[in-house]
A and B are shown apart, each in its own frame.
Chain A
Amino acid sequence: MPGTSFHSAMTSRSSERFGKWLVSAPPLVYLLFFFAIPSLIMVLASFRTPGEFGGLSPLIEDGKPDLNLDSYVRFFTESVYAQIFVKSVWYALLTTLFCLLLAYPLAALIARSPKKYRDLLLLLVILPFWSNFLIRIYAWMIILGPNAAMARAVNGVLSWFGHEPVALLFSSFAVLVCLVYVHLPFMVLPLYANLEKHDQALLDAAQDLGANGWQRFWRITFPLSLPGVYAGAALVFIPALGIFAIPDILGGPEDSLIGNVIKQQFLETRDWPFGSVLSIVLTVAALVLAGLAAWVGRSQLGTRSSGALSRA
């Protein structure tokens, strides 16, 4: 009956809009209040001058607002900061790549295992990460120490080739290893959440049609898992950009990353405006890169999801 379908169509559209507001409003409001506003305070801070004794100098000085672009100018003229920044991006990219290579097989393994073991395996992946972050970094100090088994083995092999012993600890190697270690579950979990849903029937069909193992993976599993890959990459790359504890503890004299420099600005140098500038640049860069990746991801997924969405 036309009347009823029109009526139900109307209510479904408005309830759809209502549903949209219901679902997006709470997180929006929470983040606006507890994130956007505090961040605006710091964005404002980047235009101010540092307080002589720490913190920020008063906003209104002699009746005029004390705002300037000093800190931004500094960032763009003193190139050493940009140099460290690029290095940090490079480290973060490497970390993401290695995390992906290590996490993918693990996530696939968990997704394919019998249901009753899956939760246990997931828990085992996550469990070490409920012990303290700093203690785990310390553990790497022991593992990579010059007298420990790993270093002795590596240097033993190197000495056969007449090469000088290398230090595993206090080096970029140590920093990278620990970066990958610390971020691994953040790659495993999204990948697992995605891979778990893959329909085995698709793969069986492909096999029936003559595809071998590699083809099945590369042309079916991997493309379907891309949203998980992008999610994991975002969750690894972005935090890895800002990290400072790992280079602090495990790094050598030249392994300072942008996170360390930012920390210094807030603590040692007490230059909050400059620290804000560096942070804003870091945040913007991270978001731009994440946005790029998402855009690439969306255009690849385009055919699958846009069809479904246009009918929703």
Chain B
Amino acid sequence: MKRLTLLLASLLLASVLSPAAAKDQLHLYNWNNYIAPETVKRFEDFCKCEVVQTYYSDNEELLAKLAAGARGYDILVPTSNVIQPLIKGGQLKPIDKAQLPNLKNIDPAYLNTPFDPGNKYSVPYAMSLTVIGYNDQKIKELGLPTDTWAVVFEPKYLEKIKGRVTVLDSSSELFAAALKYLGLSANDVDEAHWKQAADLIKKAKPYWAAFNASSYIKELTVGNIWLVHGYSNDIFQANLDAQAAKRPFHILHGLPKEGAVLAVDNMVIHKDAPRPDLAHKFMNFMLEGKNSAELTNLIGSGNPNMEALQYIKPDIRKNPAIFPDKAMTSKLEQLKDLTTAQRRVRNRMWTEIKAGR
């Protein structure tokens, strides 16, 4: 017993004395794989500080943690529809534009949004579209269209790919796609329209393999799943993986002509940030074209930074799912947040869909 205690005590001691630099630290709370490692290293050299990263995989997780009172983070990277609740909830610190000379690099089309007029709190970071991803070999064999949401919702197409389709496990994304297909706005809040969308979803559900927001990339890469409702950078990733594994097919983006959801992720500063000075330095650094481009080159995310365009790889630059043309851009919509009452109705409908009613 004594020796066991000794062992444990020495272990604890060793762990406490292990390397823990108390240098200047910037706490970055971000999506995983949403910043290139080279960029982080370069920033650390530039500011002579250490970047401590923690991750979340869902905006809602971020909101829940902050709402319950967690602090210690400097920079957060939420999506635009979540910025409004954060601002109204008093969770953010206003930015000092004087410290951000590189802000001029951002395409004005992405500034001054309804979520944050005047960009008092946020600065655009990267974007993605929610589109269709498909296995080009299989889908061409079956002769299915890839430029319309019909291939996700219409039984006449679905029966050819039964059990080989996944959709996102997000009520807002799926309802948005259904609403767009029905010719309505993704932000429509009419309950009757929601009912129509829900019926459309229920009709198509028996043909879907799963509601999946996480492993569909892998399933696409491996060839188990042939068509997905997914995020453009995930689909880009699946293609990279498929090529690296020398698969005989490509994973391509399908841009639905009815329109799609655009998600813009922004850098914001938490109200209790321990180092707002470092946070501003980081923001300005990421607003530089070269640094911003690194992320796009890494994961195929859209980029609102005009100065970055010259550093982006040509094949990514030409991809219409990553840099949509004017016609497509007019059909894109950013999701707006719902009120509590609306969220409750939506959740009941979603649960009914999931319960098989």
Contact = CB atoms under 8 A, between A and B. Distances in A.
Asked whether the complex places CB atoms of A and B closer than 8 A, the reply is yes
Interface of A: 49-55, 74, 78, 80-81, 83-84, 87, 138, 141, 145-147, 167, 169-170, 248-249, 251-254, 256, 260-261, 264-271, 274
Interface of B: 58, 60-61, 63-64, 66-68, 84-86, 88-89, 163, 169-172, 205-206, 208-212, 214-215, 218-219, 222-224, 339-340, 343-344, 346-348, 350-352, 354-357
Contacts of B357: 80, 83
A252 B344 CA distance: 24
B85 A256 contact: no
A53 B88 contact: yes
Nearest to B218: A141
Nearest to B357: A80
Contacts of A51: 67, 89
Nearest to A267: B60
B142 to A, nearest CB: 16
A146 B347 CA distance: 32
A251 B210 contact: yes
Contact of A167 (B163, B171, B350): B163
Contacts of B350: 264
A145 B348 CA distance: 32
A52 B340 contact: yes
Give the residue among B58, B172, B215 with the most A Cβ atoms within 10 A.
B215
Contacts of B208: 253
B210 A253 contact: yes
Given A53-B85, A54-B67, A266-B64, A248 B347 contact: no
Contact of A52 (B170, B206, B214, B339): B339
Nearest to B211: A253
A271 B344 contact: yes
Nearest to B61: A267
**B contact patch SS:** helix
Give the residue among A147, A169, A269 with the most B Cβ atoms within 10 A.
A269
Contacts of B209: 167, 169-170, 252-253
Contacts of B210: 170, 251-253
B214 A249 contact: yes
B41 to A, nearest CB: 27
A145 B215 contact: no
Contact of B224 (A145, A252, A254): A145
A102 B132 CA distance: 43
A256 B171 contact: no
8 contacts: A49-B340, A55-B67, A80-B352, A141-B218, A167-B163, A252-B210, A270-B85, A271-B343
A264 B347 contact: yes
A54 B205 contact: no
B146 to A, nearest CB: 22
B88 A52 contact: yes
A256 B60 contact: no
A83 B194 CA distance: 22
Contacts of A84: 351, 354-355
Contacts of A266: 64
A244 to B, nearest CB: 11
A254 B67 contact: no
A49 B343 CA distance: 13
A256 B89 contact: no
Give the residue among B66, B88, B208, B224 with the most A Cβ atoms within 10 A.
B224
Q: Which 6 A-B pairs have the closest CB atoms?
A: A55-B67, A267-B60, A53-B85, A256-B354, A53-B89, A170-B210
